[in-house]
Structure 1
């Protein structure tokens, strides 16, 4: 299929170029809410994914969102930071028609059948069926604004355009208005993030948009009916910490939907696997992040989130786990770049790469005041718990005598973040049963030095945490012994 250059994943827009041709094609006008409702129902009946890329909300959040959209409601999403509120809102764009007609040159995307701005109404009277139209892709029908205390009514709704006045138009001419972000998203979806941060006097300007579906600019006698779906996001704690949503505005949202962090370990794993960027385009392959290390990071994130030392009101964002995965993979890349004999090895992350994330992630967690000064100690302890829990889940009951026998006569194995995979394997020697260990860690049938080293080091660390081995650590070097 031929691709449109402006939208690489889009099909070619429809052919009609005038209102007359559009009518002849049989095009039927629908409001945005009708459009979303019908497209959502079509996907539901076909069993298609309605919100691609959204993990862990299937049985909790998404049913509420679907009911709200089917009811034609504006929505406010409430949830702590990093719960995917904005990501979910952006997926709603996929429920719009791929292409929709608008009057050519219209600032607020008027539909050719129902022009609402004074310019388009004038052109429609003058040109009739010869009025030119253009086709707007669904990706261009989404507007987003981060609410900040300095946001003005002009930003959202509109204001007088001094340039147009200077061109000779009178102040009473509606065409002197410079439209704000909301009317410019007419016939689309507008998202207002962190709504409580918006000054209360500015929130008042949205009341008409949500109820009467129109706007007023300055002192103009102007009724501009808007066709828009308004979706807002907010952190419940921000109602009192940084501001609040005024009661009349909350009352005008048709639906309030609560989001949450991943409920299950499987959802946490899926989210990290989907979002973490550990591979790079071009000639740089990035690093491999073994399955068992992704599980460690997922368990670590959940332990931090549940810890009484962390401020539950602030939450622990999904970005915490994603950043941890990416930093761990980066540590593996760094190792292969610094060690000459490892230059030809495929970077594979190991347990020794995990402690480095504690200091870099500390700023992503708000701790209780009573724990001040102990942040790294707490995170380090929880990381060790996550490694031990993963070891029990993956290798609990496994026959590890092949590796334990290496220490029977007082032997030791030295590893560390700057020890290459091939060097670690040389120091360890042949390990009977290593293939079975690798299979239980999700690396069945793989034979690379990096993966074998990752399996051995994880097993050593797990045996240490379960007090079946000792370990001496200093300056990034770990020596395991009996």
Structure 2
């Protein structure tokens, strides 16, 4: 093998062979998805069925596209198609593990599974100095968040999510465990007003398995988080986005008048 895991040529082997194969990145997301589907080990023997939502495939590909454009990623090493291939394999494995543990009939990956596949992402990235300062995990998380935001826009651009956002603004919080079974997760998500109705945009019906509906609703929440409409952290999970502090001009007085800080002398 004359290439490393990141697609970089191993120089001694290149010198010995005397030639190299020049490759190029997929030009479109659709091409990337097709290559990943062809090369990834997804048709594997399993006691349960695996159903990968289209938005999960799109997020994995957008992740690679965004990494190739990110200034924190070393352009000389590049980002090969191995990144989405490895990521989607790990995502499916995590979904299978959860489904087997919960004794479910179908395994459906969630956005949480993409975050769980961080080692598969960071292992395929060579970072510049700026990226090294932030850390591989931080860079990868930011890329995943940006990828989710792009795919969310594809499906929900212009959609009215006021009800969902209001639920969090009124004090609602929701912490999702990646190992929770689908039925329990749907029950939690159904408590958020207006959320489960929005999954229809993804082409789902009320007769879909809980695993499919849970994944779709979680994708919507992750999309809102990606666009800073709601917040998410490790302790509280999903919650209301913190309100921006008033600017000094607004704090100083009404009508945009500047406060009078003139010092008085006796």
TM > 0.5: yes
Distance 1:322 1:416, change over 3 A: same
Aligned to 1:141: none
Quote the offset at 1:480 in angstroms: 3.4
Q: Distance in 2 between matches of 1:440 and 1:197?
A: 54
Match of 2:20 in 1: 234
Give the aligned partner of residue 346 of structure 1: 106
Q: 1:470 offset after TM fit, Å?
A: 2.6
Higher helix share: 2
Aligned to 2:36: 272
Which residue matches 2:173? 412
Distance 1:465 1:301, change over 3 A: same
Q: Does 1:448 align with 2:209?
A: yes
- Structure 2 CA distance for aligned equivalents of residues 444 and 234 of structure 1: 50
Secondary structure in 1 aligned to 2:106? coil
- 1:397 and 2:161 matched: no
Change (3 A) 1:270 1:439: farther
- Counterparts of 2:85 and 2:194, CA distance in 1: 35
Number of the residue aligned with 1:294: 57
Contact 1:310 1:365 (8 Å CA) reproduced: yes
Q: Does 1:306 align with 2:77?
A: no
Aligned residue number for residue 140 of structure 2: 379
Structure 1, unaligned runs of 5 or more: 1-78, 84-146, 150-193, 204-232, 236-257
CA positional deviation for 1:481: 4.3
SS of the aligned residue for 2:140 comes to helix
- 1:322 Cα deviation after fit: 0.6
TM-score of the superposed pair, with normalisation by structure 2: 0.75
Aligned equivalents of 1:362, 1:288: Cα separation in 2: 25
Q: Which runs of 5+ in 2 are unaligned?
A: 242-266
CA distance 1:280–1:354, shift in 2 (3 Å): same
Contact persistence 1:345–1:450 (CA under 8 A): no
Q: Aligned to 2:116, which of 356, 363, 374?
A: 356
Alpha carbons of structure 1 residues 388 and 413: separation in structure 2 relative to 1, 3 Å = same
Alpha-carbon distance in 1 for matches of 2:153, 2:210: 24
- Secondary structure in structure 2 of the residue aligned to 1:323: helix
Work out whether residues 276 and 322 of structure 1, in 8 Å CA contact, stay in contact via their aligned partners in 2.
Answer: yes
**SS class of match (2:90):** helix
What's the counterpart of residue 478 of structure 1? 237
Cα distance in 1 for partners of 2:105, 2:228 equals 32
Deviations 1:318-367 (A, max 9, x none): 111111111111111222234xxx21241111111111222333122222
Tell me, yes or no, if the aligned pair for 2:189 and 2:196 is still in contact at 8 Å: no
Shifted more, 346-355 versus 424-433: the winner is 424-433
Q: Which residue of 1 aligns with 2:26?
A: 262
CA shift in 2, pair 1:148/1:462, >3 Å? closer
**What is the Cα deviation at residue 402 of structure 1?**
5.1
SS in structure 1 opposite 2:234? strand
Q: Which has the higher strand share?
A: 1
Secondary structure at the counterpart of residue 107 of structure 2: coil
Deviation at residue 80 of structure 1 after TM alignment: 11
Deviation at 1:397, TM superposition (A): 1.3
Q: Which is greater in Rg?
A: 1
| Structure 1: distance between partners of 2:182 and 2:214 | 5
Give the corresponding residue for 1:336: 99
Q: How does 1:211-250 map to 2 (within 5 A)?
A: 234=20
Distance 2:36 2:203 in 1: 16
Q: For 1:410 and 1:424, how far apart are their aligned partners in 2?
A: 20
Do the aligned partners of 1:291 and 1:442 also contact (CA within 8 Å) in 2? no
Contact residue 387 and residue 462 of structure 1 kept, 8 A: yes
Distance 1:479 1:269 in 2: 29
Off by >6 Å, runs of 4+ in structure 1 = 79-83
Distance verdict in 2 for CA 1:369–1:464, change over 3 Å: closer
**Matched residue of 1:413: which SS?**
coil
Larger relative contact order (Cα-Cα within 8 Å, sequence gap ≥ 6): 2
The equivalent of 1:108 in structure 2 is none
Cα distance in 2, alignment partners of residues 427 and 345 from structure 1: 20
- On the 8 A contact 1:279/1:287 being kept in 2, the answer is no
Greater CA drift, 328-337 or 395-404: 395-404
Q: Show CA shifts across 1:386-405 (max 9, x none).
A: 11111112111123345445
